[in-house]
């Protein structure tokens, strides 16, 4: 069985610091991280592989070569190989063009199962799994929380999906596209200590548009059906601060003591007993 995982590297929004004076997020020195939903998808793929080592897991990303080291780490975590679709011609591609580029590659691989995160941290459109499924004419399930069944032998997988307040279980036949929800419990394993310095360069494949053969008109800005009108960062409210000023030392000590006691940091007798 061949599983293909779509992964994306996004800015680590948690590492943004907040500039109180200018009321902006500071994004300099932030790093790229594996999109958490995609990490869950990869975690599921590796979990299935652990149960059946014959399963082949390929991780695919469409990104500049700057994330090559992170792709090596994906291999070290357990993927059989990684593919980077990297070409200047892809720059500016919207989700439609991106899905076409990915789909063109995926057609050649003929995987049984395509896993992806349902959403990304930096875009949040959730378009790619759906557009890809459409391009490849495959069934799609999104927001999958958990899976069961015997996918290798049955050729299908049972998926629990959130729908409003309910959780419904679907059986989806392969080949299929499955989008994993952020709330799913699949954990992406860390690189093991003995693999930290393992040379996995031979398991990384880089493909350009030359290999894919897509016309220029169908990729990049030219191939995109949509444009980014504007982008903005959410306005961050300055965190509420409560300041209490006490001019009397004894009053101050009493206040701190009562506060600590209320919060459960102090037990036992009252301060004034001492």
Partner 1 sequence: MNIQIQSLTESQIQQVHEMTLQLLEGHGITMNGETVQETFKKHGAKVEGNRVHIPSKMVEDAIKSAPSEFLVTARDPKKSHVIGIGREPALVPTGGVPIVLDKNGDQDTATFDDFRNMLKLTHTSSILNFACSGSLYPTVPDQSDGILMMIYHTLLHTDKPLVGNCEGAAISNACIDMVERATGLGEDEHMVVAITNSISPMGWDGKMLDGIRTFAERNQPINITCCSMAGATAPIYLMGGIIQSNAEVLAGIVYSQLIRPGVPVIYGTTSSVVDMGSMSLTIGTPEAIEAAVDKFKDGVAEQVDSKLIEDWFSQLNWSQKDIDDEVQGMIEHYRHSGYTTEISANWDNITKIYDSVIERIKKEFPRKDDLTMLGGHSSHSYINGTNMYFVYSYDIKCEPEDELLIYHHPIQQIIVEETLRYGGSMCHHHGIGKYRSQWTKEEHGSAYYILEKLKDTFDPNGIMNYGNIFPKEDGIKAYITKEQ
Closest distance to partner 1 from the beta carbon of 50 (Å): 13
Q: Examine residue 270 and tell whether it contacts partner 1 (CB under 8 A).
A: no
For 83, other C-beta atoms within 10 Å of its C-beta total: 20
Nearer to partner 1 by C-beta: 139 or 195? 195
Nearer to partner 1 by C-beta: 24 or 33? 33
Nearer to partner 1 by C-beta: 130 or 191? 191
Closest distance to partner 1 from the beta carbon of 203 (Å): 20
Residues 53, 244, 268, 272: which binds partner 1 (CB under 8 A)? 268
Instruction: Give CA–CA dist 274/258, Å, rounded.
Output: 15
Closest distance to partner 1 from the beta carbon of 189 (Å): 6
Nearer to partner 1 by C-beta: 243 or 274? 274
Closest distance to partner 1 from the beta carbon of 48 (Å): 18
Q: Examine residue 263 and tell whether it contacts partner 1 (CB under 8 A).
A: no
Q: What is the 3-state secondary structure (H, E, C) of the chain?
A: CEEEEECCEEECHHHCEEECCCCEEECCCCCEEECHHHHHHHHHHHHHHHHCCCCEEEEEEECCHHHHHHHHHHHHHCCCEEEEECCHHHCCCCHHHHHHHHHHHHHHHCCCEEEEECCCCCCCCCHHHHHHHHHHCCEEEEEEEEEECCHHHHCEEEEEEEECCEEEEEEEECCEEEEECCCCCCCCCCCCHHHCCCCCHHHEEEECHHHHCCCHHHCCCCCCCCCCCCCCCCCCCCCCCCCCCCCCHHHHHHHHHHHHHHCCCCCCCCHHHC
Tokens of 118: 């349902």
Nearer to partner 1 by C-beta: 213 or 268? 268
- Options 136-144, 174-182, 251-259, 261-269: segment touching partner 1 (CB under 8 A): 261-269
| Binding to partner 1 in span 175-234, by CB under 8 A | 189-194
Do residues 159 and 123 make contact, with C-beta atoms less than 8 angstroms apart?
Answer: no
- Options 110-118, 128-136, 200-208, 264-272: segment touching partner 1 (CB under 8 A): 264-272
Nearer to partner 1 by C-beta: 195 or 205? 195
Using CB under 8 A as the binding criterion, the count of chain residues that bind partner 1 stands at 9
- Options 20-28, 142-150, 215-223, 262-270: segment touching partner 1 (CB under 8 A): 262-270
Nearer to partner 1 by C-beta: 20 or 187? 187
Closest distance to partner 1 from the beta carbon of 163 (Å): 28
Q: Examine residue 267 and tell whether it contacts partner 1 (CB under 8 A).
A: yes
Where on the chain is the footprint of partner 1 (CB under 8 A)?
189-194, 267-269
């Amino acid at each position: 069985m061949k599983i293909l995982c779509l992964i994306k590297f996004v800015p680590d929004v948690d590492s943004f610091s907040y500039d109180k004076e200018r009321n902006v997020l500071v994004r300099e020195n932030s790093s790229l991280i594996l999109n958490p939903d995609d990490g869950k998808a990869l975690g599921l793929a590796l979990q299935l592989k652990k149960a059946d080592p014959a399963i082949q897991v390929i991780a695919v990303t469409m990104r500049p070569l700057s994330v090559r080291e992170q792709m090596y780490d994906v291999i070290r975590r357990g993927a059989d190989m990684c593919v980077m679709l990297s070409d200047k011609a892809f720059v500016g591609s919207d989700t439609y063009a991106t899905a076409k580029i990915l789909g063109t590659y995926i057609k050649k691989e003929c995987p049984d199962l395509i896993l992806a995160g349902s959403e990304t941290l930096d875009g949040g459109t959730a378009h790619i799994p759906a557009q890809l499924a459409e391009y490849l004419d495959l069934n799609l399930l999104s927001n999958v929380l958990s899976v069961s069944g015997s996918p290798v032998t049955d050729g299908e997988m049972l998926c629990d999906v959130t729908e409003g307040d309910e959780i419904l279980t679907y059986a989806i036949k392969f080949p299929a596209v499955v989008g994993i929800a952020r709330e799913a419990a699949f954990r992406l394993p860390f690189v093991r200590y003995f693999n930290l310095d393992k040379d996995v360069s031979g398991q990384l494949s880089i493909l350009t548009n030359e290999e894919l053969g897509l016309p220029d008109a169908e990729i990049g800005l030219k191939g995109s059906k949509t444009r980014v009108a504007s982008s903005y960062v959410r306005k961050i409210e300055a965190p509420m601060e409560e300041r209490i000023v006490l001019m009397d030392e004894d009053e101050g000590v009493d206040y701190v003591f009562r506060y600590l006691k209320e919060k459960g940091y102090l037990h036992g007798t009252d301060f004034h007993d001492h």
